[in-house]
Structure 1
Amino acid sequence: MSFNDKTISELHELLVNKEISATELTQATLADVKEREAQVDAFVTVTEKEALEKASAIDARGIDASKLTDGIPLAVKDNIVTKDILTTAASKMLHNWIPPYNATVVNKLDEAGMVIIGKANMDEFAMGGSGENSAIKPTKNAWNKVKVPGGSSSGSASAVASGQVRLSLGSDTGGSIRQPASYSGIVGMKPTYGRVSRFGLIAFASSLDQIGTFSQTVKESAELLQVISGVDDNDNTSSDIAVPDFTSKIGQDIKGMKIALPKEYLGEGIDGGVKKTIIDAAKHLESLGAIVEEVSLPHSKYGVAVYYIIAGSEASSNLQRFDGIRFGYRADNIKDLEDLYVRSRSEGFGDEVKRRIMLGSFSLSAGYYDAYFKKAGQVRTLIVEDFNKVFDNYDLILGPTAPTVAFGFGEKTQDPVSMYLADILTIPVNLAGLPGISIPAGFSDGMPVGMQLIGKRYDEETIYQVAAAFEATTDHHKKQPHIFEKGEF
């Protein structure tokens, strides 16, 4: 029996009433994984033994009725460190790394009684927007196996969209949760920078990275974010701002709320079907009483250029630690120390990772720092100021999550710039450290379209309020790919 049609609340009720056990729920989830995994390739590692041991221990002590997530299974992106469980970041460089510690979010999942089913596939070191850059295997879109699932959190999105798990964790540096959520027809939340600890997240770009959630519904996203949020002494960029009840505004009326629709988000490069879907979504929010008005975010057009300078520069620094000496991949038959560095990194990193390291190293090099990295930082400030001006008068910002629906495998691999532009609508949110969500808004050419809602810093509750109001009065989230029910495409 499968339980993939049940929400967290429904599963919790079944567990508390002893209609099912945590072990039975875990076994059913593992059965869903086995039935679908060969078709979508969402996992790097399925942790069957560890998951069943955890579920058995939960049953032995009894379900805690006060913990909504006690006994609930989920998947975790493979760049989030898990003690004694292979963590590869989908890279040859870490093909054999068994971490000696947990990420803070993993400890929080454990404290909440959640059961990790496996480590989800991804673009190598979170560098990619399609799922094609994994050194392990490419993950497929649950709606259409010839389409990409989005990236970099490809496996985390496909695992939820295909009904293998109800929930998963991903990371978002420039759109890596929201974009695959859009392509996969599910809910993806990137919280405010600092809301969730990054300790134990394998770093790509430290000023941009943030762990977030994938789910089937808005409320479940809020419930999972509740588990992983909070200040952490191991991460001095984590915020000590009190964590609210993220579900507190769900169900409240949105009448009179002011929502901004930037003209730049519906301009050149936005697919016609996507544009129509978002305009229709905006009209629907107006029918619920919200006030939707056009605004301008004039510096957003520079977001992609700014992002790839800043993210590449931070990556070139963060990835220096992968040197073939302490852990991970090490080249054979080396001649000297320099040969060890060069060959281990050349053989261990994929092309996209090397491309970004080189771009970042160039941007930081003598003679180019002021022209590139410093200038990018200045334009980043202008992007932040654009958002601040809009939020002086509006509660939220609305737009498409991605300029197109999911594209086919191989369509953009030979054109990195075209691939990078797929994140043009999500990148500014990371540059400004804002929270953003993608929720199902409709379909174009038979593929899901995501609507992005962007909020003020530390105001995830308002995002959830509007997202839930839209979800409750539409049926887009109820439509699921054939594999979700039938186990096949």
Structure 2
Amino acid sequence: MTSLTSLTIAAARDGLKKKAFSARELTDAYLEAMAKARVLNAYVVETPEQARAMAAASDARIAKSEAGALEGIPLGIKDLFATKGVHTQAASHVLDGFKPPYESTVTSNLWRDGAVMLGKLNMDEFAMGSSNETSYYGNVINPWRRRNSNAALVPGGSSGGSASAVAAHICAGATATDTGGSIRQPAAFTGTVGIKPTYGRCSRWGVVAFASSLDQAGPIARDVRDAAILLKSMASVDAKDTTSVDHPVPDYEAVIGKPIKGLRVGIPREYRVDGTPAEIDALWDKSAKWLKEQGAEIVEISLPHTKYALPAYYIVAPAEASSNLARYDGVRYGLRVPGDDIVSMYENTRAAGFGREVQRRVMIGTYVLSAGYYDAYYVRAQKVRTLIKQDFDKAWDKVDVVLTPATPSPAFAPGEITDPVQMYLNDIFTVTVNMAGLPGISVPGGLSEQGLPMGLQLIGKPFDEATLFQVGHAIEEAAGKFEAPKWW
């Protein structure tokens, strides 16, 4: 019999429905695989007892023909999502020992549909990072390796644990979040599929905040169909999140395999960035050709303010982070480092509790919000953000979807990038999507010369995730599937 952990969510769902195996058997197979893959450091906490109890409840519902949309499917949960009574620390020391007495809306939706929680997944601290090297719990390792090399590679960030776990088949799918590329970049580095939905498509309630006007939850999965299945469950309007939008959630899976003939695909000239490896540009050209062969129309477009997106993002995101992270002061929960008075206790707690990258961004954010610089930096960045959105608004008159690379390179080694600005450049193709509040998906397009996955990004109109799944599946069919060779 095929290994249960090699099944996609769609295949596992069908197997459970036919009673070819039980939810408990499926969960046990994943727990066993997790134990063998701890070298990847993808999980910060495993929850085997809870997983088995949830699987038993799923088996009972399946026996009564009361199965939900994700009944018995074992998932990993990014450590940014509040899970009631279970470690939720955003991979930070400052939230030491925090176990929330509540459940995030996204995970509540998944449990409502019968999903099983395997554990909490590692990530960059407070979702700040592009390589999963800033976690208090150590680096996550990418299951992929360069051809003829045993050197470790990063899985991307901040959702590196989610991407690594999905690629290594130690969960069927995973929750993730994306503030400037934190779903799409790790998906590209690990040969998985990740979608950042439209801002407001998924509730942010119960998700530890980084930058509130940019953060959005989404899934990382093995293929486009699985991502569509997961997003259908994750998405909802929520009275507890006033930025969530009351917009019907379609059956995303229904568009998988739908022909793309007649769709207009935009190629933005501004995404031809100097220094991008030739193999990334070649993959981009090849994917446009695949879509044209399937009947899509390829249209060159201009998004003139793209070049300002990265600097504007690294003003807006740290500014919001410095405000959001002010609540971590050692008073009510998490780490407390004593001091001579309350001010020194604040200072000692934050100095010990936050890692260097988080401290760097809090300092940047505090600076750009300060009285003398607010107009010069923050207000100007918000104006640039408006111009970026207007570029896309004009583009939608000409095209249905935009095609770009997902990352400027394949995965790199831990410690290879030490300059923060060079690390921030990993987000160069992804931040525009967050700044404009649009949906974006990363789909594996091929392997580099060194045998590493390279991702393609599709950007869609607001709340038109269905078209991204439709076109993403067309790319997937042309490119084929990619799996990391097992070495652990």
TM superposition score normalised by structure 2: 0.96
Deviations 1:72-130 (A, max 9, x none): 00101001000000111111111211111000011111100000101000000000000
The residue matched to 1:482 in structure 2 has which SS? Answer: coil
Deviation at 1:481? 1.0
Name the structure 2 match of 1:58.
Answer: 58
**Which of residues 256, 260, 273 is equivalent to 2:266?**
260
Instruction: Give the whole-Å Cα distance in 1 for the aligned partners of 2:261 and 2:47.
Output: 46
The residue matched to 2:289 in structure 1 has which SS? Answer: helix
The residue matched to 1:357 in structure 2 has which SS? Answer: helix
**Which of residues 359, 380, 383 is equivalent to 2:385?**
380
2:436 corresponds to 1:432:
yes
Deviations 1:460-479 (A, max 9, x none): 0011111112212331x2x2
Name the structure 1 match of 2:141.
Answer: 140
The residue matched to 1:251 in structure 2 has which SS? Answer: coil
Instruction: Give the whole-Å Cα distance in 1 for the aligned partners of 2:52 and 2:157.
Output: 29
Corresponding letter in the other structure for 1:481: A
**Which of residues 202, 213, 221 is equivalent to 1:196?**
202
Residues 1:17 and 1:247: Cα distance change in structure 2 (over 3 Å): closer
Deviation at 1:480? 0.8
Name the structure 2 match of 1:94.
Answer: 95
- Unaligned ranges ≥5, structure 1: none
Matches within 5 A, 1:59-74: 59-63=59-63, 64=65, 67-74=68-75
**Which of residues 459, 483, 486 is equivalent to 1:480?**
483
The residue matched to 1:52 in structure 2 has which SS? Answer: helix
- Greater shift in the superposed pair: 283-292 or 431-440: 283-292
Instruction: Give the whole-Å Cα distance in 2 for the aligned partners of 1:238 and 1:194.
Output: 4
Count of residue pairs the alignment pairs up: 480
The residue matched to 2:169 in structure 1 has which SS? Answer: coil
Corresponding letter in the other structure for 2:28: Q
Instruction: Give the whole-Å Cα distance in 2 for the aligned partners of 1:55 and 1:374.
Output: 50
Name the structure 1 match of 2:304.
Answer: 298
Name the structure 2 match of 1:47.
Answer: 47
Instruction: Give the whole-Å Cα distance in 1 for the aligned partners of 2:183 and 2:281.
Output: 21
Name the structure 2 match of 1:12.
Answer: 13
- Greater shift in the superposed pair: 334-343 or 270-279: 270-279
**Which of residues 466, 474, 480 is equivalent to 1:461?**
466
Instruction: Give the whole-Å Cα distance in 2 for the aligned partners of 1:186 and 1:420.
Output: 22
Name the structure 1 match of 2:357.
Answer: 352
Instruction: Give the whole-Å Cα distance in 1 for the aligned partners of 2:400 and 2:253.
Output: 17
Matches within 5 A, 1:263-282: 263-282=269-288
CA RMSD of aligned residues (A): 1.2
Deviation at 1:65? 5.9
Matches within 5 A, 1:280-291: 280-291=286-297
**Which of residues 321, 330, 334 is equivalent to 1:328?**
334
Aligned residues of 1:16 and 1:65 also touching (Cα < 8 A): no
Instruction: Give the whole-Å Cα distance in 1 for the aligned partners of 2:442 and 2:348.
Output: 40
The residue matched to 1:202 in structure 2 has which SS? Answer: coil
Name the structure 1 match of 2:38.
Answer: 37
- Unaligned ranges ≥5, structure 2: 146-150
Aligned residues of 1:2 and 1:32 also touching (Cα < 8 A): no
Deviation at 1:23? 0.8
**Which of residues 184, 189, 193 is equivalent to 2:190?**
184
The residue matched to 1:473 in structure 2 has which SS? Answer: helix
Name the structure 1 match of 2:148.
Answer: none
Name the structure 2 match of 1:238.
Answer: 244
TM superposition score normalised by structure 1: 0.96
**Which of residues 165, 170, 182 is equivalent to 1:164?**
170
Instruction: Give the whole-Å Cα distance in 2 for the aligned partners of 1:464 and 1:57.
Output: 31
Corresponding letter in the other structure for 2:458: L
Deviation at 1:62? 3.1
Deviation at 1:242? 1.1
Aligned residues of 1:135 and 1:350 also touching (Cα < 8 A): yes
Matches within 5 A, 1:343-422: 343-413=348-418, 415-422=419-426
Aligned residues of 1:152 and 1:177 also touching (Cα < 8 A): yes
Deviations 1:322-359 (A, max 9, x none): 00010011113x10011011010011000000000010
Deviation at 1:291? 1.1
Instruction: Give the whole-Å Cα distance in 1 for the aligned partners of 2:204 and 2:289.
Output: 37
Instruction: Give the whole-Å Cα distance in 2 for the aligned partners of 1:442 and 1:343.
Output: 48
Matches within 5 A, 1:441-452: 441-444=445-448, 445-452=450-457
Aligned residues of 2:130 and 2:156 also touching (Cα < 8 A): yes
Name the structure 2 match of 1:23.
Answer: 24
Instruction: Give the whole-Å Cα distance in 1 for the aligned partners of 2:452 and 2:6.
Output: 21
Aligned residues of 2:433 and 2:439 also touching (Cα < 8 A): yes
